[in-house]
Amino acid sequence: MYRPGLNELDAVIAIMRRGSFRAAAIDLGMSTTALSNAIGKLEANLGVRLFNRTTRSVSPTDAGRAFIERIGPALRDIHGAMEGARAQQTTPSGTLRINAFATAAREIVSPLVLEFIRRNPQVHVDLVTEGRLVDIVADGFDLGVRVADLVPTDMIAVSLGRPQRYAVVGSPGYFEKHGKPLVPPDLLAHACIRVRLPNGALYRWQFERKGEAVQIDVHGPITVDEASIARNAALEGIGLGFFMEQDVRADIEAGTLVRVLEDWTPPFAGLCLYYPGRRNPSAALKAFIALARELGGKSRR
């Protein structure tokens, strides 16, 4: 009698969660073909189709939805038991999954993630970057990294001790032709590089000075959804860009980008590492949190 293994059941949950075989396969560390074959074998042995597939979308059938509702809690219990067993380890090992937005990932990779790998060579770190704020528990992550104000209230947060700032920048050539904005409303007369958020909305540039908050819905010749593309456009003189300071700090220091409106971009809440309050965290998770607290404390001195 065919008995599906834990990997097959995890695959069903991953497809339901991600709504895509390709995205689920990436999460599971396998090929899309292997995942499709595994689900096909499971469906053949169950005698029902679990997912409706088209070239553009994947959705659970009624049978699939009922199946997932039944196995979901059981899988959480199983994984909880496995985590409890791993918590007995004295040497950190296994895989640690971290979710962060791209700028935060770049900020923590060198001081934290790479140092953790050097100290714990038996741990594999799976760092996933995305702009949307995900449910790290539902999406199978051990840890998340976000600006402090965005950390869910039911999570344990560890400050990474790095205050954040925005920066408005443009190329020297741009300012030679168009001059510099002196206050945020001046941006309406400038070409600006627009940014689309993960939810599809266009980002309004946010400013504050002496308690006065201003949001500007800028206009310009290009809209992008990735900071590195916006940076390239700013370097090429296409328009002004609005960035996390650390993404353009080296360009400002080199003089290839010039900062403006600095008095309107004060520091705000820094980055936090956050995680659920599990009773039996793995040795790898405990080691990573301890290192984050250690390095976070140093950065505040």
- At a CB cut-off of 8 Å and minimum separation 6, what does 63 contact? 48, 49, 50
**pTM of the predicted protein model:** 0.60
Which pLDDT score is estimated for 225? 87
Q: Please give the residue range of the domain that contains residue 41.
A: 6-86
- At a CB cut-off of 8 Å and minimum separation 6, what does 51 contact? 15, 39, 58, 59, 60, 61, 64
Percent of the chain with pLDDT over 70: 93
In a domain, 1, yes or no: no
Say if residue 301's pLDDT is above 50: no
In a domain, 181, yes or no: yes
Say which residue, 238 or 196, is predicted with more confidence.
238
Range with top average pLDDT, 250-259, 263-272, 277-286: 250-259
Which pLDDT score is estimated for 237? 96
**Structure confidence by residue, pLDDT tens digits, 76-101:** 888 777 766 665 666 888 899 999 98
Domain check: are 130 and 257 in the same one?
no
Question: Is residue 102 very low, low, confident or very high in pLDDT (cuts 50, 70, 90)?
Answer: confident
Give the lowest-confidence range in 70-79, 180-189, 190-199. Answer: 70-79
Percent of the chain with pLDDT over 90: 39
Distance (Å, whole) CA 111 – CA 89: 25
Task: Look at the chain and report how many structural domains it folds into.
Answer: 3
Of 35, 63, 86, which residue constitutes the final position of a domain?
Answer: 86
**Structure confidence by residue, pLDDT tens digits, 42-77:** 888 888 899 888 777 788 899 888 988 888 888 888
Domain check: are 277 and 197 in the same one?
no
Domain check: are 17 and 66 in the same one?
yes
Distance (Å, whole) CA 75 – CA 140: 12
Domain check: are 203 and 159 in the same one?
no
Question: Is residue 231 very low, low, confident or very high in pLDDT (cuts 50, 70, 90)?
Answer: very high
